[in-house]
Amino acid sequence: MEWATTGNGNRNPEIVINGNKGLSPIEIKVAPGERILLDISGSKDPDGDEVKYKLFSIDEVAASFPVESISQEENGNFVVAVPENCEGNEFHLICEATDSGSIPLTS
The predicted model scores a pTM of 0.83
Higher pLDDT, 29 or 13: 13
**% residues pLDDT > 70 (the chain):** 86
Average pLDDT over residues 95-107: 94
Residue 54: which H helix or E strand, with range? strand 51-57
State yes or no: pLDDT of 51 exceeds 90: yes
Beta bridge partners of residue 3, listed in sequence order: none
Strand 16-17 to 78-81 pairing: unpaired
Domains of the chain, each with CATH number or no CATH: 2-99 (2.60.40.10)
Who's near 50: CB < 8 A, 6+ residues apart? 99, 100
Query: Contact 31/39 with Cβ under 8 angstroms?
Result: no
Amino acid at 41: S
